[in-house]
Amino acid sequence: MTSENDVPADPAEGQPDPAAVAGEHRLSQQVERTGMFGTETTGDTSGYGGLRVRRPDPPATQRPYGSYFDEIADRLAEGLERDGTAFPEVVSRVVVERGELTLHVPREHLVAVARLLRDDPSLAFEMCLGVSGVHYPWDTGRELHAVYPLLSITHNRRVRLEVSAPDSDPRVPSLVGVYPTCDWHERETWDFFGIIFEGHPALTRIEMPDDWKGHPQRKDYPLGGIPVEYRGATIPPPEDRRSYS
């Protein structure tokens, strides 16, 4: 006899029903939006007011990755092993999407991984093409992301490194010592997103005025604006009508 909270078993195998397990997992995921349009200020008139759109788990790709991506992972794993660390400890997640390889790396391992990708002749990622900031307010404990696209001119290959940091401690090691051109890119990412790149030689604003308050590309940054009246209709300023729910 089973309780009502138990996952139904597959009568053929005596194991939990995979569909039921998947359903339970889906119901445990964070609710991203309610209703058809996620409206908060007025009632949902779509007829789907009870709809709960849940945020899926972060994607992860399993082997084989395809293209030259497996070779990059193998050479990186060999180099990490020589340095006394294991690939799963240093690369938390691998994502292959739209023909691009992204390695998610804990911030404490970022510099070591970047240096290995640059210095190992079988990898030879000599160039960092920039630093992009991303703000995910709903990604609790990982709200701020920094993304580094790397290029190997020697092998004509590309890989992307991605690290995250919480809003409460927005610190990521600087890669200026590995890729000097990150100097300006890290300043821009700090300017717009507030990610503090520890070890940067001069982390100052590069786009906004020096006395600017806040970081304007974060999703919680106020847009401001004024209401616009057009033929008797009033359109509120962006600050009053933007929603990321």
- 68-94 pLDDT per residue, tens: 999 999 999 999 999 999 999 999 999
In the chain, beta strands by DSSP E: 9-10, 15-16, 31-34, 52-54, 93-97, 100-104, 127-128, 132-135, 144-152, 157-165, 171-173, 196-198, 228-230, 233-235
Average pLDDT, the chain: 86
Give the torsion sign (CA, 245, 143, 118, 177): positive
DSSP category for residue 25? H
Tokens of 172: 């990521």
pLDDT at 16: 83
pLDDT at 224: 67
Q: What percent of the chain has pLDDT over 90?
A: 61
pLDDT 10s digits, 132-146: 999 998 888 999 999
pLDDT band at 228 (very low <50, low <70, confident <90, very high): low
Q: How far apart are CA 166 and CA 146, in angstroms?
A: 12
Q: Is the pLDDT of residue 179 over 60?
A: yes
Task: Yes or no: say if 85 and 105 are a contact pair by the CB < 8 Å rule.
Answer: no
Q: Is the pLDDT of residue 241 over 70?
A: no
Q: How far apart are CA 72 and CA 56, in angstroms?
A: 28
Q: Is the pLDDT of residue 1 over 50?
A: no
pLDDT band at 177 (very low <50, low <70, confident <90, very high): very high
Strands 144-152, 127-128: pairing is: antiparallel
Task: Yes or no: say if 185 and 163 are a contact pair by the CB < 8 Å rule.
Answer: no
pLDDT at 182: 97
Query: Using alpha carbons only, how large is the chain's radius of gyration in Å?
Result: 23
pLDDT at 4: 47
**Is the pTM of the predicted complex or chain greater than 0.95?**
no
Taking the CA of residue 194 as centre, how many other CA atoms within 13 Å lie in the half-sphere pointing to its CB?
19
pLDDT band at 2 (very low <50, low <70, confident <90, very high): very low
* Owner of token pair 């640059």: 118
Q: Is the pLDDT of residue 227 over 90?
A: no
